[in-house]
Chain A
Amino acid sequence: MPPQSLHHRRTHNLLLIARLLSLRDGVSPFTLLLDSLSQSARPLLREYIRRQQSGTRMIFVSFETAVAPEGVSVFIKARGKELVELQREIRGAVGSGNDNGGGSGSGTRALLILDNLNTLSTTHPQSLTLFLSSLLTPGMVLLGVYHLDQPVPSPSSSSSPHTGPQPLTLLRYLSTTLVTTHSLPHVLLRKRHKDVSLPPPMWGLDEGVEGVLVGLGSNAEMVIEMEYRRKSGRAVLEWFVIGEGKGKEGAGKDEVILLEDHPLWRVSEKVRKGEAGEQEESNGIDGVTFELGITERQRRVREGVQLPYMDAQREGGIGGGGAILFTPEKEVDDFDEEEDEI
């Protein structure tokens, strides 16, 4: 990948994440949030709900949430219900919104949140994708959470084993944006290990210690790994820190920055960043053992250098445009005038 300037990437991707979080202009019809015990996607769901425009109808389909989050318009309890019934209820919730919406009809936007796709993957591995696609009508945006660490036990009742692809594989395929959540302390420690070529640390169940379920440093500040799939098929990958400055009074709670811009990430990144910056200025020519470009400091020093004969080169200067000036010196230029006469 050609070195893209960080500044350009920052501007572009921050705009993109703002659009993705507010789900403006149908930018991503189906966003799949992948979380784990290390970092739950719930804070992210709250962020999504908070960022919606006021006219949006928010339908929360709960598989594991006991209390409706703030800002949700319709709260549907989905556990134990048949897919058909659930589908009808969701349709009803969307429909009633259109009736109340004041005649704008299909203009009403709706956000549908499913807080746990594992349950459906367990009970309906085959019809899950069909169910989700049926919900994706124009003006509807789908947000689904899948717990990566929660196994999906195959239903023991079915006599023939399910031979199709795993539900998660299908979900990944179907989604237009994939967001994986991480905890900031974990990301930083993993990076520190990588910098000194240590094996990456593990948390929670991966620690391999019997009795450990959740890792230390879990569910702290949230880092998200975004994969946005454009219509062209090209994917945009980026890491963000969400809710930076939450603790500070007055600071915007919704602040989203690139992971690379996080002060703690930059601590050990500074050295490498400097090198990359210089390489960028030398137009990225590889394979030379010396520096072709110059740094900003070198450039400034060069500007300041006083070159000799500058006065002479000035237009209308001492010599007046190219005339040769000659001032004989007594000692060196010892001319014998008599010789000339001979």
Chain B
Amino acid sequence: MPSASVLTPYLTRPNRTHTLTLLTSLLSSPSTWLTHSLLTRHIDDDPNAPILLLSLTHERAFHSDGLRKLGVPLQHLDRSGKYTFLGIADLPLMGGGAVSDVVLGAVESARAAGDGRGLLVVIESPDILLQTGGGSYSGVMDLVLRVLEVVMPRPASYYLLPHRLTYPTCRMSEHTIVSVNVDEALMRDEEHAAFVIGLGHVARRVFGLRGLETGVARDVSGVLRITTGGAEEGDVDGGKEVLYFVGDGGGVEVFERGEVRGR
């Protein structure tokens, strides 16, 4: 766990369900550490909630290592069937709609394993599907949105709501974390830009990672900007920018600009 007192209030799980948190990264400023921080916090809050991690950029071992360093009892989770990992090798990338079938099937079974507890779905770099021909912009967008929706047990199609809204009782918040790459070269691609911006409109919070404007520094890895997304209701603030530093061992420090750090 990074000694991230600055970041802590932003890592807490939202109290509404079916929310999307968007992480944007650059090739030079990867977002894995933030994904792991969010995951760790989530597991700390509810150790029995099921988790599905879909990564198109990393292997299972990479994430297991990173999470173990943060003190997550991953073996325990794995043994109880609460932790599901899907790598790029598990996806039939050549087929058209098959990818979403596999993913949605995994989401369904992960939710079933959770005994009614809220499921957390983490999707790392779904934008790769756009580049590899795994789907068009609307196809991949549809996949992410359906993951958001599958989480809730609801009759399909449309339904008439009674006068008072009564949701199926799910006290645990279900939540989706999506990380995408926003390198300038990629954003020039209309499909990619439409996908990323579309996610921004659906997200409740956007964590944007980028390099330092003043160039590379020895003790600062980059800038983290936290802003309110389009779907946030209630507590809104103007956003915040902090600096972060990823050490050799993978430990992360988050601090304010100009803050004096004890070394």
Q: Do A and B bind each other?
A: yes
Measured CB to CB, the nearest residue on chain B to A216 is B239
Stretch of A73-81, A159-167, A285-293 with 4 or more beta carbons under 8 angstroms from chain B? A73-81
Contacts of A46 in B (CB 8 A): 233
Contact of B202 among A64, A123, A209, A213 (CB under 8 A): A64
Contact indicator B210/A211 (Cβ below 8 Å): yes
Interface-lining segment among A103-111, A144-152, A266-274, A304-312: A144-152
How distant is A104 from chain B, measured CB to nearest CB, in Å?
A: 19
* Contact A216 to B238, CB < 8 A, known contacts A64-B145, A66-B145: yes
Contact between B158 and A93 (Cβ–Cβ < 8 Å)? yes
**B231 and A211 form a contact (CB under 8 A):** no
> Once bound together, how far apart are the Cα atoms of A212 and B210, in whole Å?
7
Q: Tally the A-B contacts, defined by beta carbons under 8 Å.
A: 149
> Quick one: which of A121-154 are within 8 Å of B by CB?
122-123, 147, 149-154
Please encode chain A, from 177 to 208, with 1 for each CB lying within 8 Å of some chain B CB and 0 for all others.
00000000100000000000000000001000
Assuming the contacts A118-B194, A213-B24, asked whether A74 and B158 have C-beta atoms less than 8 A apart, the reply is: yes
CA distance A298 to B187 in the complex (A): 62
Q: How many residues of A contact B (CB 8 A)?
A: 49
Q: Which of B17, B25, B200, B213 contacts A209, CB < 8 Å?
A: B213
How far is the CB of A320 from the nearest CB of chain B, in Å? 77
Whether A333 is near chain B, meaning CB under 8 Å from some CB there, is no
B 11-37 binary contact with A (CB < 8 Å = 1; else 0) = 000000110001011100100000000
Residues on A with beta carbons closer than 8 Å to the beta carbon of B152: 66-67
Contact assessment for B231 and A216 in the assembled complex, using a CB-CB cutoff below 8 Å? no
Instruction: Select from chain A the residue with minimum beta-carbon distance to B16.
Output: A67
With a cutoff of 8 Å between Cβ atoms, the chain B residues found around residue A80 in the complex are: 142
Taking CB as reference atom, which chain A residue is nearest B239?
A: A216
Pick the contact of A66: B18, B156, B187, B201 (CB < 8 A): B18
Given contacts A67-B18, A211-B26, A211-B211, contact A149 B197 (CB under 8 A): yes
A175 within 8 A of B: no
Neighbouring A residues of B200 by C-beta, 8 Å: 37, 213-214
Bound-complex Cα distance A74 to B229 (A): 25
- Interface majority SS (helix, strand, loop, mixed), chain B: mixed
B-side contacts of A42, CB under 8 Å: 230-231, 233
A334 contacts partner chain B, Cβ-Cβ < 8 Å = no
- How far is B141's CA from A217's CA once the two chains are assembled, in angstroms? 26
Known: A152-B194, A209-B213. A218 touches B202 (CB 8 A): no
Q: Contact check: which of B149, B213, B228 meets A218 at CB < 8 Å?
A: B228
A227 at the interface (CB under 8 A from B): no
CA distance in complex: A162, B87 (Å): 38
Residues of B within 8 Å of A340, CB to CB, are: none
Q: Which residue on chain A has the smallest CB distance to residue B213?
A: A209
CB of A276 within 8 Å of the partner chain: no
Is A170 among interface residues, defined by CB-CB distance under 8 A? no
* CB proximity to B under 8 Å, residues A205-246: 205, 209-220
Residue of B nearest to A90 (CB): B158
| Contact yes or no, A214 B206, CB < 8 A | yes
- CB within 8 Å for A212 and B225 given contacts A40-B201, A185-B238: yes
Question: Is B160 part of the contact surface with A, judged by Cβ < 8 Å?
Answer: yes
Q: Which residues of B contact A147 (CB under 8 A)?
A: 197-198, 201
Given contacts A64-B198, A122-B138, A151-B197, contact A70 B165 (CB under 8 A): yes
A214 to B157, CA, bound (A): 33
0/1 interface trace, chain B 143-165, chain A, CB 8 Å (1 if under): 00110110010001111110001
Whether A75 and B198, one on each chain, are in contact in the complex, defined by CB atoms closer than 8 angstroms, is no
**Could you tell me the distance in whole angstroms from the C-beta of B174 to the nearest C-beta in chain A?**
10
Evaluate contact between A150 and B194: CB separation under 8 angstroms: yes
B134 touches A (CB below 8 Å): no
CB of B194 within 8 A of CB of A40, answer no
Give, as a whole number of angstroms, the nearest-CB distance from B14 to chain A. 12
**A211 touching B197, Cβ below 8 Å:** no
- Residues on A with beta carbons closer than 8 Å to the beta carbon of B237: 220
Chain A residue nearest to B157 in the complex (CB): A77
**Most-contacted residue by chain A among B201, B210, B236 (CB, 10 A):** B201
- The answer to whether B137 touches A216, judged by C-beta atoms less than 8 angstroms apart, is no
CA distance A214 to B238 in the complex (A): 11
CB contact list, A83-113 vs B, under 8 A: 89, 93, 96
Complex partner residue of B137 from A96, A122, A220, CB under 8 angstroms: A122
Contact A119 B138 (CB under 8 A): yes
Of A35, A118, A213, the contact of B206 (CB 8 Å cutoff):
A213
CB B83 to nearest CB in A, in angstroms, measures 24
Query: CA A214 – CA B200 in complex, angstroms?
Result: 8
Output the least CB separation between B113 and chain A (Å): 22
Q: Which residues on the A side are within 8 Å of B191 (C-beta)?
A: 153
A residues at B contact (CB < 8 Å): 35, 37, 40, 42-43, 46, 64, 66-68, 70, 72-77, 79-80, 89, 93, 96, 116, 118-119, 122-123, 147, 149-154, 156, 185, 205, 209-220
Between A and B, 20 residue pairs with Cβ closer than 8 Å are A40-B229, A42-B230, A42-B231, A66-B18, A66-B145, A70-B165, A74-B160, A75-B161, A77-B158, A79-B138, A89-B157, A96-B160, A151-B193, A152-B190, A154-B190, A210-B184, A213-B182, A213-B200, A214-B239, A219-B236
The 5 nearest A-B residue pairs measured at CB: A211-B210, A40-B230, A214-B227, A153-B190, A219-B228
**Apart from A67-B18, A213-B200, 4 more pairs, CB < 8 Å:** A152-B194, A216-B241, A218-B227, A219-B228
